[in-house]
Amino acid sequence: MPHCPQCLTEYVVGSRECIDCHVALRPGEPPDKKAGESKVKLMRVWTFSGPTAHINAELARSILEAEEIPCVLPGQFSADAYPGVDVVQLLVYEEDATKAVEILENFLDNPQGAATGEE
């Protein structure tokens, strides 16, 4: 089976390019990954807490996704399920972290999206 040399995903015979990495596939099985090794690095860019943690995290995720920055909220359900444990972290790919923080900071400074001094 062909595989992607970057992410090591296996594909069916006849596939030519990795749909995620957009590189040519190599023939044969991928080399064994070392236990726990991952090429994908996620970084925490924001932590939400308090009674509105879930709502604020969902809003932040929507803002980043509108800017085409993929993100995840791994703690979003613990905020609903466990009262008092209302912390939700927003994670993005390492390469998107700087841009994500900038976007979120700009939104928090200007939550209405109103232009400042421009008409």
Question: CATH no. for residue 73?
Answer: 3.30.70
pLDDT of residue 39: 64
Q: Where are the beta strands (DSSP E) in 28-114?
A: 42-49, 71-72, 87-93
Whether residue 115 is contained in a domain is answered as no
- Quick one: DSSP state of residue 117? S
Does residue 4 contact residue 18 with C-beta atoms inside 8 Å?
yes
Whether residue 20 is contained in a domain is answered as yes
pLDDT of residue 75: 56
Whether residue 1 is contained in a domain is answered as yes
**pTM to 2 decimal places:** 0.55
Q: What is the mean pLDDT of residues 62-76?
A: 85
pLDDT of residue 116: 45
Tens-place pLDDT, residues 90-119: 889 989 999 999 999 988 777 665 444 443
Whether pLDDT at 3 is above 90 = no
Same domain for 59 and 7? no
Whether residue 21 is contained in a domain is answered as yes
Which residue range(s) make up the domain with 28? Answer: 1-39
Same domain for 67 and 97? yes
* Chain centroid to CA 61: 9
- The two tokens of residue 56 are 């604020």
CB atoms within 10 A of CB 10: 13
Whether residue 116 is contained in a domain is answered as no
Q: What angle do CA 20, 15, 32 make, to 5 degrees?
A: 65
- How many residues are recorded in the chain? 119
**Number of independent structural domains in the chain:** 2
Tens-place pLDDT, residues 22-59: 888 888 888 775 544 556 788 889 888 888 888 888 99
Q: Is the CA virtual torsion 98, 62, 73, 51 positive or negative?
A: positive
pLDDT of residue 63: 94
